[in-house]
Structure formats: C-alpha cells, structure tokens
C-alpha cells in the first residue's frame, strides 16, 4: 500500500499548492466570497464534525457559539459609543487581544452548554442544543443594552483591516487559521485524550467503570467545540465587518449542519469540502436551471434537494463517497478491505476502540452500549 500512500501524499501536496497560489490567480470576488468565506464556514462545520464524530454529540449550538464570539469581538474591539438606549458599548481593544478574549469566552460558553446538555443523549441532546441556540438568538434580538438588538454592530475591523482592502492577506489569514485548527484536531485525536473521547462515545458505561468521568469529558469536548466555533465566529465578524441577529438564527444553525453532512460527518476534511460545495451553490444558485425550472430565489429548494440526495445515496457525505470509490479502485484484485473507523483512519491510527484507565492495562472499550448523539 506504499504506492497508495504516496499518491495520497502527492494529492495532498497538490491541494496545498493550489490553495496557496489561489488568491494570486483568482479575481477578488473568488478570493473573498468563495475562498475565505468557505474556510470560515468550514471551521464552524469542523467544530460540529469533531463533536459528532469523536464524541457522538451532534450539537445544533455551534452557530450560536460562533455568533457569541462574533458579538464579543465586536464589543471588545469597537470604540466606546452610546447606542439608542443610552448604553455605552465598546472597549476599544486591539483586534488580536479582542479575538483571543472572544474565543476564550466562546470556549467558556461551550463548557456551560456542555454542562447543561451533557447528561442527555440522542434526540434529547439534539433538541436541547437547538433550544440553547434558539434561546441565544432571541436574547441578542431583543437585548439592546449589550447586543444592540436587531441593529447589531458595524465597523468591525480585523488585524488586516477590512478584507476588501487586501483580499489575499485576509485569505491567507483564513487559510493559516483553518490549517492550524485542522492539524490541531488531528493531533488531539491521536492523543490519549482523543482516544478517551472516542471511548466515551462508544461505551460510556464501561468508561465510567474504568474510572473516567464521562460527564466531565463530554463537557470538555463541548468546550473544545466552542473553541473551534469561536475561531470561526471571530473570522466571520472580520469578514463581514458587521453583525446582527441573523448570524445566529435558525437558518445559520441548519446551514452548519448541512455543510457538515454534505462533506461527511465521519471525515474532518469533509467540513471544508462541504463548505466549498455549499458556498458555490449558494452563490450561483440563481444561474442554475434544471429542465426549464430556474432556482433563482429558490436556493433553499436546491440545497434541500441536494441534502436529501446525499442522505439517501451517500450517508457518509461527499468525502465518504469518494473514499469508497478510491478503495474500490485500489483494491479491485486484493479482496475486501478491513473496515476501520474513518475518523481514526484520517487521524492516522488503526483503532480507537481500546482505551486504558489511569495506571491500568489496555481494556477494550466494547460496543454493547449505543453511542449517544
């Protein structure tokens, strides 16, 4: 299989080269509205893929966590001013310190959401995180003293100024951040903590019997998801230059879920693949015509049909479908490939089913308890 890995390495290198030279050869619109925007959305979806894939926690609160970070970076970085209700908002801090504090606060909010919802599983967890997300939307919509109500905030600038002033610089900022987050999560899942997360996902009862605090690990996983979503929220605030309750409404929540499912919930790289596909469809939906039917102003119909098709034909998403096709091509004469966890395979580990108690020998995690979701 050395030649297969060599081809994968060459393909990875080719993708990196394309991403690096992309802003040098593409128009401004493609650099910002497609490239940078897709990476920001991909980071938000990656937080969901990480939580669902490695912790069995399909959270619908990731858009709220990203939006919270966006609001915090606005409140921290804008110059003090008095709004319509007489409240003075804005701390006037530099962009980088504001971003770091906003991400830390989003991480803390993620831990709080985890503490609230970590004892629930399955559909109950899904609905509880959705309730938290919708609740946060109505808070920012109706609160003018802190969140600016339906007006929100404008004039938010990042460390590179407004993105349209120098699109390649902002693109490289997004590319570097997305790469760091992706590689950081890959490193995390190789560690003992990452394997513990997967053990908690697969068999929480046995992990508790081994001495692990299942609830604490689920809260920690949610906090990491809040950290990643917070990074997306900060970049999104810098990209748009303004924020309003629309960035945390139900449509944004569903958008993150659709992107994650399109790319493949079992593949972290799928978050970015799904984000690119979703962004392209969203931008060019008005020019798509099928059998004389135009999708102009019918984007939700188009993306809904695409989502339904993916769920029915490729439950593991676009990346999962491509992976199956690649396996079929490279194993035509070699029999069936041993089934492995795609998340573990991408992280470079053979199995995530064995975890150890502190100071104890390895014990199989088992699968007699269904994973929560």
Torsion, Cα 108 47 177 94, to 10 degrees, reads: -30
Question: Would you say residue 78 has pLDDT above 60?
Answer: yes
* Maximum alpha-carbon separation in the chain: 74
Q: How far apart are the first and last CA of the chain?
A: 34
- Positive or negative, the Cα torsion across 329, 330, 336, 337? negative
Among candidate residues 311, 173, 225, the one with its CA nearest the CA of residue 52: 225
Q: What is the DSSP string of 96-117?
A: HHHHHHHHHHHHHHHHHHHHHH
In the three-class reduction of DSSP (H, G, I as helix; E, B as strand; rest coil), residue 293 is classed as: strand
Q: Among 55-64, 100-109, 283-292, which stretch is predicted with the lowest mean pLDDT?
A: 283-292
Contact 274, 49 (CB under 8 A): no
Q: Among 169-183, 245-259, 303-317, 353-367, which stretch is predicted with the lowest mean pLDDT?
A: 353-367
H or E element: which one contains 270? helix 270-284
CA separation for the pair 53, 340 (Å, rounded): 14
CA separation for the pair 361, 210 (Å, rounded): 11
Mean pLDDT is highest, among 24-38, 78-92, 340-354, for 24-38
The pLDDT-based confidence of 257 (bands split at 50, 70, 90) is very high
pLDDT per residue as tens digits for the range 101-160: 999 999 999 999 999 998 888 899 999 999 999 999 999 999 988 898 888 898 898 888
Contact 159, 96 (CB under 8 A): yes
Query: What pLDDT does residue 8 have?
Result: 65
Average predicted confidence (pLDDT) for the chain:
83
More confident residue, 1 or 103: 103
The ranges assigned to domains in the chain are: 29-354
In the three-class reduction of DSSP (H, G, I as helix; E, B as strand; rest coil), residue 307 is classed as: helix
CATH 1.10.3470 assigned to 29-354: yes
Query: What pLDDT does residue 289 have?
Result: 65
pLDDT per residue as tens digits for the range 187-238: 998 899 999 999 999 999 999 998 999 999 999 999 999 999 999 999 999 9
pLDDT per residue as tens digits for the range 26-51: 999 999 999 999 999 999 999 999 99
More confident residue, 302 or 340: 302
The pLDDT-based confidence of 358 (bands split at 50, 70, 90) is very low
Contact 106, 211 (CB under 8 A): no
* Number of CB atoms found within 10 A of residue 333's CB: 5
Mean pLDDT is highest, among 163-167, 264-268, 274-278, for 274-278
Torsion, Cα 74 79 81 83, to 10 degrees, reads: -20
More confident residue, 276 or 341: 276
Query: What pLDDT does residue 286 have?
Result: 66
Query: What pLDDT does residue 338 have?
Result: 46
In the three-class reduction of DSSP (H, G, I as helix; E, B as strand; rest coil), residue 31 is classed as: helix
Question: Would you say residue 344 has pLDDT above 50?
Answer: no
Question: Would you say residue 74 has pLDDT above 90?
Answer: yes
Q: Among 15-24, 312-321, 345-354, 362-371, which stretch is predicted with the lowest mean pLDDT?
A: 362-371
366: alpha, beta or left, given left = phi > 0 and alpha = psi -120 to 50? Answer: left
Phi, psi at 346, each rounded to 5°: -65, -35
């Amino acid at each position: 299989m050395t030649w297969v890995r060599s081809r994968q390495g060459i393909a990875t290198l080719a993708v990196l080269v394309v991403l690096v030279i992309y802003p040098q050869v593409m128009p401004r619109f493609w650099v910002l509205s497609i490239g940078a925007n897709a990476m920001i959305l991909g980071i938000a979806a990656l937080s969901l893929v990480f939580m669902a894939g490695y912790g069995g926690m399909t959270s619908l609160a990731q858009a709220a966590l990203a939006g919270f970070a966006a609001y915090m970076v606005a409140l921290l970085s804008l110059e003090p001013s008095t709004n319509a209700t007489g409240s003075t908002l804005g701390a006037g801090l530099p962009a980088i310190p504001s971003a770091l504090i906003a991400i830390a606060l989003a991480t803390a909010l993620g831990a709080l959401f985890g503490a609230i919802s970590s004892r629930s599983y399955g559909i109950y967890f899904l609905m509880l995180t959705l309730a938290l997300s919708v609740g946060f939307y109505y808070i920012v919509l109706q609160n003018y003293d802190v969140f600016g109500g339906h007006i929100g905030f404008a004039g938010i600038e990042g460390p590179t100024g407004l993105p349209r002033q120098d699109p390649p610089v902002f693109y490289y900022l997004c590319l570097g951040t997305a790469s760091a987050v992706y590689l950081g999560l890959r490193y995390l899942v190789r560690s003992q903590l990452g394997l513990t997360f997967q053990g908690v996902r697969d068999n929480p009862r046995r992990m508790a019997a081994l001495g692990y605090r299942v609830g604490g690990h689920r809260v920690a996983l949610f906090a990491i998801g809040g950290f990643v979503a917070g990074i997306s929220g900060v970049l999104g605030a810098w990209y748009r230059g303004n924020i309003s309750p629309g960035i945390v409404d139900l449509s944004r929540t569903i958008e993150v879920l659709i992107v994650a499912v399109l790319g493949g919930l079992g593949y972290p790289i799928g978050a970015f693949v799904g984000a690119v596909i979703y962004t392209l469809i969203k931008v060019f939906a008005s020019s798509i015509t099928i059998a004389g039917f135009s999708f102009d102003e019918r984007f939700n119909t188009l993306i809904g049909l695409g989502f339904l098709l993916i769920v029915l034909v490729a439950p593991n998403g676009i990346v999962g479908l491509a992976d199956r096709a690649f396996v079929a091509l490279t194993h035509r004469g070699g029999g069936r490939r041993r089934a492995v966890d795609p998340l573990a395979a991408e992280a470079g580990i053979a199995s995530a089913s064995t975890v150890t108690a502190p100071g104890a020998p390895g014990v199989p995690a088992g699968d007699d308890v269904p994973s929560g979701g």
